[in-house]
A and B are shown apart, each in its own frame.
Chain A
Amino acid sequence: QKEVEQNSGPLSVPEGAIASLNCTYSDRGSQSFFWYRQYSGKSPELIMSIYSNGDKEDGRFTAQLNKASQYVSLLIRDSQPSDSATYLCAVPNSGYALNFGKGTSLLVTP
């Protein structure tokens, strides 16, 4: 069973701080990694994808991938209360199906 693990949180950070969300995965052959954000009662929304080792930056978001350690993280700089949501790590299996972690709940306090 291929697994994706996340700390469920809640992770609480003050406004303006850096939020760090972590994800580990069990399938060493995984090539693609996605971070989805889900507000309560809404659909998961893709915010970052990463395929190569290292960092990928998009605005206030940075995804970090370390395939040797089977570890992917998401950093949110200058966190805003509007960033409060559940963040889902997703890793495709050999085909199209996404394997999700349980998600980390982030709370940004004003």
Chain B
Amino acid sequence: EAGVTQFPSHSVIEKGQTVTLRCDPISGHDNLYWYRRVMGKEIKFLLHFVKESKQDESGMPNNRFLAERTGGTYSTLKVQPAELEDSGVYFCASSPRTSGRASQETQYFGPGTRLLVL
């Protein structure tokens, strides 16, 4: 079974440009998450989809970030316009349909997209 995949693996853009990150979750996983790790900091939660619906977007830093999950399969995270502080590693994770306690769901992570804004 294929794991969570992310594209691109690396992206270098200039301040003010737009970048779109893509995540393909494990097939059949209804839950999809985005996280970000800024250099020197811990991995931080950005948002959570259940199928195509945003369940929790409390971690989104500002309105320059837009996440979508049309059709409840893959997801995109767009940063527009990108700022220097957006540099970091963006991780996507997925988990199966909830069958029990939400806090015990195992989240499977992708390899991340390394974004550098110059």
Contacts and interface: CB of A to CB of B under 8 A. Distances in A.
Contact of B106 (A4, A31, A49, A95): A49
B48 A97 contact: yes
Interface string A85-110: 00010001101111111110000000
A43 B109 contact: yes
Given A43-B4, A96-B56, A96-B105, A102 B42 contact: yes
Contacts of B31: 96
Contact of A51 (B41, B56, B104): B104
Nearest to B48: A96
Given A43-B4, A44-B91, A103-B42, A98 B107 contact: yes
A17 interface: no
A55 to B, nearest CB: 18
Contact of A95 (B48, B110, B112): B48
Q: How large is the interface on A (under 10, 10 to 19, 20 to 34, 35 or more residues)?
A: 20 to 34
Contacts of B110: 43
A9 to B, nearest CB: 14
A108 B45 CA distance: 30
Given A100-B42, A103-B42, A95 B102 contact: yes
Contacts of A93: 45
Q: How large is the interface on B (under 10, 10 to 19, 20 to 34, 35 or more residues)?
A: 20 to 34
A32 interface: yes
Nearest to A103: B42
Contacts of B59: 97
Given A43-B110, A97-B48, A49 B104 contact: yes
Contacts of A4: 42
Contacts of B112: 43
Interface string B95-113: 1000001111111111110
Interface of A: 4, 31-32, 34, 36, 41-46, 49, 51, 88, 92-93, 95-103
Interface of B: 3-4, 31, 33, 35, 41-45, 48, 55-56, 58-59, 91, 95, 101-112
By Cβ-Cβ distance, the 4 closest A-B pairs, closest first, are A97-B45, A100-B43, A32-B103, A92-B103
